[in-house]
Structure 1
Amino acid sequence: MEQLKGKTALITGAGKGLGKAVALALAAEGVHLALLSRTEKDLVDVAAAVKSIDSSLNVAYATADISDFNSVTAAITKLKEQLGVIDILINNAGIGKFAKFMDFEISEWENIIKVNLLGAYYVIHAVLPEMLERQSGDIVNVSSSAGVRASALTSAYSASKFGLIGLSESLMQEVRKSNIRVFTMNPSTIATDLSVSLNLTDGNPESVLQPEDFAELLVAHLKLNRRAFVKDVGLWSTNP
């Protein structure tokens, strides 16, 4: 079993929802945390929650526009100056909107691709060189069941998540030879602010997956012996 204690993880979209749940689960494992999100107040709250779990952990945070390469690069440079190397990257930041194809504003469609796909690329670009140099690291890309099977009204979101799965698959094949594990998580609906705002929980968020369920599975994957990894995994509600 892989020992996580003492490692450092960078989490995007860390201010709420899945990102916050993952931060708290990793803190319980003794992982130092670099938190990245758009809203500083959310990051302050998560950092305080992490410290309440283990006051000895190093926690740093930075705000960034995940869709902007220069903003991402500057934020991650700041985080690495405070915490050192990044052992684990969790690409969680994402946005969504469901609508008929022709009802999308072009800028809306483009922005979903920029945040969900290009944003992940930008973060990997900033973190991967040091992982390659150390010949070790873990990269977790958070896609969606909508990235495995599209539906009506999900053109932009599914395109971004299908693309992320393709990115992950190619990168995995490339860097596994350097002892870097890349895996993709494809959850169905999880009770987050985003899913509730998109009316995906049918008014009953308790019946679907919770952020803590996702975080538990993610941590279990990271704790696998380094000779093994799960390339991709779907996580579904039992009886939504």
Structure 2
Amino acid sequence: MQSLKGKKVLITGGSRGIGGATAIALAKEGAELGLIARSEESFDSIRGELTEIGAVFAVAAADVSRETMVQQAVTKLEQELGSFDVIINNAGVGVYGSFMELTTDEWRKVLDTNVMGIVHVTKAALPGMIEKNRGDIINISSMSGLKGTEGSSAYSASKFAVIGMSESLMQEVRRNNIRVSVLTPSLVETDLTRGNNSNDRNPEKFMQAEDVAEYIVSLLKLEQRTFIKTSQLWGTNPF
């Protein structure tokens, strides 16, 4: 297994949820972290946790849907840490409602964040990986990217797109020893999902952000000659 000590990891949506849990897990492995989130204030909690661990990290506020902001954020982080070995595209939003109810602006918000956000971040950080001739890109999709459900047309469309984009990118960069993996977790107990579910369910029966983080660490530790292209993560018995 590979050591992650000293690996430079870029995480979007890195202040909380899956991104925050992954940052903590990787910091414990000795990775150096570049975190992107929407606002400086959103880093308040995780700064303390990472400092306690003794992590090397840098943060930048940016809306991933805005290309110029992303380029500026990645440049700032690379100046502080160096070029990245790993990109974890985790930032995402969900807007739900019937197909006819969703507005054009709502569709754009979801697609610009969940799809174009990955495009902007990856295009900004990928040249450094190509120069090193190795690296990892992990894109977080969803089970909604494998199966559409009523009321989730925009979200599902974005997550289907993430899978297709990841597949194509993987074929392009394999020759550079860059591994591209896409994760499709079912419901994970995070701030994003908490408000959209029944109050009578038991949250402890659903996957936690820390579970996904642990899996991401295991993916990155695989010897460079091997990678897992797609991963479905399910709660064992959420019913």
In the other structure, the counterpart of 1:157 is: 155
Cα distance in structure 1, aligned partners of 2:77 and 2:149:
38
Residue 201 of structure 1: how far off its partner (Å): 7.3
Cα distance in structure 1, aligned partners of 2:85 and 2:198:
34
Q: 1:202 to 1:183 in 2, by over 3 A?
A: farther
Are 1:16 and 2:16 an aligned pair? yes
> Under a length normalisation based on structure 2, what TM-score does the superposition of the two structures give?
0.97
Note the 1:1-80 alignment, pairs <5 A: 1-53=1-53, 55=54, 57-80=55-78
Aligned-residue identity in percent: 47
Q: Which amino acid in 2 is paired with 1:221?
A: L
- Mapped contact 1:189–1:201 kept (Cα < 8 A): no
In the other structure, the counterpart of 1:103 is: 101
Cα distance in structure 1, aligned partners of 2:40 and 2:124:
21
Q: Which amino acid in 2 is paired with 1:42?
A: S
Q: Deviations over 1:17-66 (max 9, x none)?
A: 1111000000110001001000212213212211211x2x3210000011
Q: Deviations over 1:157-191 (max 9, x none)?
A: 01100001011000001101110000001000000
Q: Which amino acid in 2 is paired with 1:152?
A: E
Provide the aligned length of Structure 1 versus Structure 2: 238
Cα distance in structure 2, aligned partners of 1:119 and 1:129:
17
Cα distance in structure 1, aligned partners of 2:70 and 2:191:
23
Secondary structure at 1:99 match in 2: coil
Residue 203 of structure 1: how far off its partner (Å): 3.7
In the other structure, the counterpart of 2:114 is: 116
Where in structure 1 do 4 or more consecutive aligned residues deviate above 6 Å?
A: none
Cα distance in structure 2, aligned partners of 1:125 and 1:60:
20
Cα distance in structure 2, aligned partners of 1:201 and 1:67:
31
Structure 2 unmatched runs, 5+: none
- Mapped contact 1:195–1:201 kept (Cα < 8 A): no
Structure 1 unmatched runs, 5+: none
Question: What's the Cα RMSD here?
Answer: 1.1
Cα distance in structure 1, aligned partners of 2:90 and 2:20:
10
In the other structure, the counterpart of 1:86 is: 84
- Mapped contact 1:100–1:152 kept (Cα < 8 A): yes
